Structure 1
Amino acid sequence: MRADAVHVRAPGKINVYLGVGARSDDGYHPLATVFQAVSLYEDVYAVPSDGFSLEVAGAVDVSGVPLDDRNLAMRAAKLLAQTAGVTAGVHLRIRKGVPVAGGMGGGSADAAAALVACDALWGTDLGPRGLHDLAARLGADVPFALHGGTAVGTGRGDVLTPALARGRFDWVLVLSGQGLSTPDVYGRLDRMRMHGDALADDPTELLEVPAAVLQALLAGDARDLAPVMMNDLEVAAVSGRPDLELALADGVRMGALTGIVSGSGPTIAFLADGPEAARALQDELKATGREALHVHGPVPGARIID
């Protein structure tokens, strides 16, 4: 890369808790969620250019990643340029480490990284508040990718309140070769609720993250966190995917404290009782032919890398 390139790294996320309200008239669902940023990253390099262009590579399958304005990172760069009155362009090179369409916010991490990278490249100096406002316009998960750590998300998930999480939480991720569409999963949840097939078939108007979840994070105690983790979207994500149900059962049988579908899936996140337990679980899952990764959280959000 050129010496004047800006390199920004942003993390993927796990939804430790995800409550989903009834679909509103604008088509969105109110959420009460707890995000945790984990050590699986997207790397974005921004290089000066006359126009706007994008290339994508990575350790995961990137064949389905768009290279035009459907890509959140491209939209982030153009939104920043329009907002700040920048007439220059940028070439973005993205190296993906977060699964595509995996429920871990990889595209949102790209957008957050692009905002930080272009802000530095062009010297627009919007500051944290300005970048957050642009992030919220791009998508519900983008503001969290910008900030990282552990946070409670309300509204569409973009209204963030930092949550204190002491210590380190170790996770083992099981990746899937077949992604899931987030809108499809939400739509399936709506249909299941209509027919009484979902666990939360009558969502309340007022959504809250249970105090027990926040207390477990504050204590830094994985054993306390495990029984209170929950994802309303899980029942819809695993519907018609027996491989996900089998993986969830296998991970717990192999020693995970609990397992949960991350966001809209299909990535599964197993909570382990420390680093050694996570490595042992990862080895056992790999022995069954699954792609398993050991990650930890919380980690910071989008940051410039020297």
Structure 2
Amino acid sequence: MSQAVESRGVTVRVPGKINLELVVGPLREDGFHELATVFHTVGIYDHVTATPAATWSVQVSGQTAEGVPTGADNLALKAAKSLARRYGVEEAAALSIDKNIPVAGGMAGGSADAAAALVACEALWELQVSRDELEPLAARLGSDVPFLLHGGTAIGSGRGERLAPVLARGELHWVLWVSTGSGLSTPEVYAECDRLREAAGEPVPDPAPSGELIAALRTMDTSAVGAALRNDLQEAACSLYPVLEDVLEAGTSLGAQGAIVSGSGPTVAFLVGTQAQAIDLSVGLAARGPAGDIRRATGPVAGAQVVQSVAPAGPPTFTG
């Protein structure tokens, strides 16, 4: 290992994701659901810094740090330890997470930090391991982790861990409504989805992505993408957190060209055509309510990326 890396840490920037489409199939024997989803990264970021240390540790700060575990249950810490075991690294790392992605908001903040920890520790330990080689480790950590190694827009199948890139040209403008209250538990939302389906008594077909959305993404036609947004968990999320229905109605009435609960919620993503429209919708949502943290972002963006080396004694400075 070089002296430069021994004396310095590595900082990785990683985005959150939204699901432009989430088709939930039948419950599998392993307890997971078969999925067909279209992942899409947006420019809301966490930063994860890994530095050499005598013992493993993780500390969390930032706008959305509350409620993130700092012990053995932290997914980024699990990721770093799994990488060390896989490649026979005997030294430990201290992880520092600066959180801005909503927690328990359907934007895969924990999975993003796990992806960032894999990338940061791979660089810290100079393992020369590719992103593709990291994917099996990532998949064992969570269904969203492999996608966040790469970012962009991609179709996910299986539990979401099997990926195929989507040819998407240009960018999309989003306004995100983030709950300032408690989040939603992903297992509880899936359980509520199963309950609602059982009550309806309708068969659940095998999932498949829609051709309409894939075609719309090729040209980034905002109105076509907005019309094709779909989330099979949205009804369940609204059932558990009814204010989401008011949020969806408010954004749609204010001119959003598409509206969807992100993943298992409760973050709501509104699609608009331009940055100016995003500003107008942000102002309208803030004035009309329901109360929430309103953010603007564009997508797709790159996945986990090394942005800086940082001396362990000082605060990180970012280059991008």
The alignment's TM-score, normalised by the length of structure 1, stands at 0.96
Secondary structure of the structure 2 residue equivalent to 1:208: coil
Q: Please, which of 301, 317, 320 is the counterpart of residue 299 of structure 1?
A: 301
Q: Where do 5+ consecutive residues of structure 1 fail to align? A: none
Q: Does 1:214 align with 2:217?
A: no
User: Do the aligned residues in 1 keep the contact of 2:225 with 2:258 (CA within 8 Å)?
Assistant: no
Match of 1:203 in 2: 204
Aligned mates of 1:27, 1:136 — CA distance in 2: 16
Q: Does 1:14 align with 2:18?
A: yes
Which letter does structure 2 place at the counterpart of 1:17?
Answer: E
Aligned mates of 1:3, 1:233 — CA distance in 2: 46
% identity of equivalent residues: 48
Match of 2:55 in 1: 51
Aligned mates of 1:52, 1:256 — CA distance in 2: 45
* Per-residue Cα deviation, 1:210-269 (whole angstroms, up to 9, x for no partner): 111001000111111111110000000010422110000000001111210000000000
Q: Does 1:175 align with 2:178?
A: yes
User: Do the aligned residues in 2 keep the contact of 1:14 with 1:38 (CA within 8 Å)?
Assistant: yes
Secondary structure of the structure 2 residue equivalent to 1:280: helix
List aligned pairs for 1:98-113, cutoff 5 A: 98-113=101-116
List aligned pairs for 1:39-78, cutoff 5 A: 39-60=43-64, 62-78=65-81
* Per-residue Cα deviation, 1:148-191 (whole angstroms, up to 9, x for no partner): 00000000000000001111100100001220000000011111
Aligned mates of 1:240, 1:14 — CA distance in 2: 19
Which letter does structure 2 place at the counterpart of 1:26?
Answer: D
Q: 1:220 to 1:96 in 2, by over 3 A?
A: same
User: Do the aligned residues in 2 keep the contact of 1:102 with 1:175 (CA within 8 Å)?
Assistant: yes
CA-based RMSD of the aligned residues comes to 1.2
Match of 2:163 in 1: 160
Secondary structure of the structure 2 residue equivalent to 1:299: coil
Aligned mates of 1:193, 1:74 — CA distance in 2: 36
User: Do the aligned residues in 2 keep the contact of 1:285 with 1:291 (CA within 8 Å)?
Assistant: no
User: Do the aligned residues in 2 keep the contact of 1:11 with 1:299 (CA within 8 Å)?
Assistant: yes
Secondary structure of the structure 2 residue equivalent to 1:239: helix
Aligned mates of 1:164, 1:95 — CA distance in 2: 31
Instruction: Give the ranges of 4+ consecutive aligned residues of structure 1 lying more than 3 Å apart after TM superposition.
Output: none
Aligned mates of 2:128, 2:91 — CA distance in 1: 15
Which letter does structure 1 place at the counterpart of 2:8?
Answer: D
Compute the displacement of 1:82 (Å). 0.3
* Per-residue Cα deviation, 1:122-150 (whole angstroms, up to 9, x for no partner): 11222122211111111000001111000
User: Do the aligned residues in 2 keep the contact of 1:57 with 1:94 (CA within 8 Å)?
Assistant: yes
Aligned mates of 1:157, 1:40 — CA distance in 2: 21
Q: Does 1:287 align with 2:291?
A: no
List aligned pairs for 1:264-275, cutoff 5 A: 264-275=264-275
Comparing 119-128 with 82-91, greater Cα deviation is found at 119-128
User: Do the aligned residues in 1 keep the contact of 2:58 with 2:77 (CA within 8 Å)?
Assistant: yes
Aligned mates of 1:216, 1:173 — CA distance in 2: 21
Aligned mates of 1:247, 1:150 — CA distance in 2: 25
Comparing 127-136 with 107-116, greater Cα deviation is found at 127-136
Compute the displacement of 1:3 (Å). 6.2
User: Do the aligned residues in 1 keep the contact of 2:241 with 2:266 (CA within 8 Å)?
Assistant: no
Aligned mates of 2:149, 2:98 — CA distance in 1: 17
Q: Does 1:33 align with 2:37?
A: yes
Match of 1:239 in 2: 239
Secondary structure of the structure 2 residue equivalent to 1:22: strand
